[in-house]
Amino acid sequence: DARVTQTPRHKVTEMGQEVTMRCQPILGHNTVFWYRQTMMQGLELLAYFRNRAPLDDSGMPKDRFSAEMPDATLATLKIQPSEPRDSAVYFCASGPLSYEQYFGPGTRLTVT
Amino acid sequence: AQSVSQHNHHVILSEAASLELGCNYSYGGTVNLFWYVQYPGQHLQLLLKYFSGDPLVKGIKGFEAEFIKSKFSFNLRKPSVQWSDTAEYFCAVIKLSNDYKLSFGAGTTVTVRA
């Protein structure tokens, strides 16, 4: 049963520190998405890739967030420097080109 | 820009009651429609999807949804809920073009009392 995996599952860090979250999409999926979920804002799309190329990162604060896909098996989301308002659950999702998306377990980030 | 509206923020009901969650979208073109479920502390899981064909789609765990194009709606139903259906439910829409972005509704929290 193929699944999207994310690491770490939990991260507690201090304000100003760099945070890197990793995602392994399901093998063969062409699209990868990063979402952020908070109580106040719900689910927000941060960035997405198709065939490893970034298609849209308009949902991401550009000054501190960056998303990359160094290869087909790894997507990363980096925050530098982190701030308390970045505390949220970050989900990665991948999908084939049939528009379905399969979500990973998420990374729960707490910035103190 | 398309938006997705879920009518109820929180629904509380007893086991064996019927459930219907409303979802409307504002985009006028052809869309793909989804319902996702998020159990407490877990990730989103796909319940069901509509791409084309029969507007009544059946998903996992006894859920079904009906696409009514004229009403821009995709309501989720379950005839008899169980305590284990306690979760948050999200409606989502993709514009059918070369755009893979899901637009999510705000979610409906469903609490089923034993």
Q: What is the pLDDT along chain A (112 residues), one digit of tens a residue?
A: 689 999 999 999 999 999 999 999 999 998 999 999 998 888 889 998 989 998 888 889 889 999 999 999 999 999 999 999 999 999 999 998 657 889 999 999 999 9
- CA A37 – CA A44 distance, rounded (Å): 6
Q: How many whole angstroms separate alpha carbon A34 and alpha carbon A48? A: 6
Q: Which residues of B12-45 are buried (b: 16+ CB within 10 A; e: fewer)?
A: eeeeeeebebebbbebeeebbbbbbbbeeeebbe
Chain B: which residues have CB within 8 Å of chain A? 32, 34, 36, 42-46, 49, 51, 90, 94, 96, 100-102, 104, 106-107
pLDDT band at residue B7 using 50, 70 and 90 as cut-offs: confident
- Reported as a single tens digit per residue, the pLDDT across B35-91 is 999 999 888 999 999 988 999 999 999 999 999 999 999 999 999 999 999 999 999
Nearest to A45 among B43, B101, B107 (CB): B101
For residue B42, give how far its alpha carbon lies from the nearest alpha carbon of chain A (Å): 6
Distance CA B112, CA A65 (A): 39
Q: Nearest-CA distance from B76 to chain A in Å?
A: 18
- Could you give the CA distance from residue A69 to residue A85 in angstroms, rounded to a whole number? 25
Give the pLDDT band (50/70/90) at residue B99: low
